[in-house]
Every structure is written in C-alpha cells, then in structure tokens.
Amino acid sequence: MAESVFDCRMCGHCCEGKGGIIVSPTDLTRISDFLHISCEEFIERYGMLHNGKLKIRSGDNDYCVFFVPGKGCSVHEGKPNICRAWPFFRGNIEDPESLAMAKEYCPGILPTASHSDFAAEGRRYLREANLIASDPTCEANALILPPEQKNKA
C-alpha cells in the first residue's frame, strides 16, 4: 500500500496563530456539546467575531485557547472542521507552491509527496469526512472547493 501523504507529528504548529480557527454553526454545536456548555456560553467564553465569522480566540501565547503544550488539542473530538481538514486546504490542493510552503510548516506532510498525490488524497479525505463546505458567509474559505475539485476522485 502506498505511503500516506500525511501523518500528523503532533508538533502543534497549526494551533498557533491569532484568530484563524473559524467556527461554523455545525462546529459550534459540536464543540459546545463536547464541552457540555451552551452555544451562547461557548461564544462568550471562547469566541470572537472577525469579518462576520465566529472564530476561536488565541491565548497570550498566541496559540488557540484549546491547545495544551505537550498534550495537544484539548477538544480533539469536538474540534472545528477547519482543524479536521488541515493540511488539505483548498490552497494546498490547488497550488503546488502553496503545498511546498505547507511542507516547510507542517512536518506531518510527507516531504516526497507529489502535488497530484497530495491533492487526490486530500479531495478523497475531505469528501469522505464530509469536510467540504459550501457557505462562505460562515465557513472557512479554505474548506470550499469549486465543483470540479469536489467531484474528482
């Protein structure tokens, strides 16, 4: 069997950054249920609005507030779709240069993976995991693939 193009090394790089984690309405229900709090409480305690979209706040260390150093994501089972989809973002699936930069950033991406193999495995994964979004008003643009990309095997 061919080696997978991605195997997370748990380094935490992708959990660092200010306000990149978009929480769609579906995400909000799932993560609030996971934390056993209401959606309203989640928004108040952990959310922020940016350009009209709900996002998870970052802590003082610039990591997502749910990232625990040495342990990783503390809401793994309830985490948003954008976190489930990485590194199979639209840019990396469509653009070899973007994938090359992602390889520098994410040690989980197989360094020798070709762009075509990465894109094919990514599209398959996104489709099977139901991670292809369609509403740019509340979902991450990185999850929205054009129709011809959605349908490729």
Residues that bind ligand SF4 (CB under 6 A): 8-15, 21, 56, 64, 66-67, 73, 75, 79, 83, 86, 106-108
Amino acid at 31: I
Closer residue to ligand SF4 (CB): 104 or 128: 104
Closer residue to ligand SF4 (CB): 5 or 21: 21
- Residue 80 CB, nearest approach to ligand SF4 (Å): 6
- Residue 43 CB, nearest approach to ligand SF4 (Å): 15
Distances (CA, A) of 50 to 24, 75, 115: 13, 22, 32
Residue 26: which of 50, 49, 54 has the closest Cα? 54
R_g of the chain, CA atoms, integer Å: 16
Closer residue to ligand SF4 (CB): 75 or 119: 75
Counts for the chain of helices (H) and strands (E), in that order: 7, 4
- Residue 74 CB, nearest approach to ligand SF4 (Å): 7
Distance between CA atoms of residues 64 and 53, nearest Å: 16
Query: Which two tokens mark 119?
Result: 């894109």
- Residue 110 CB, nearest approach to ligand SF4 (Å): 11
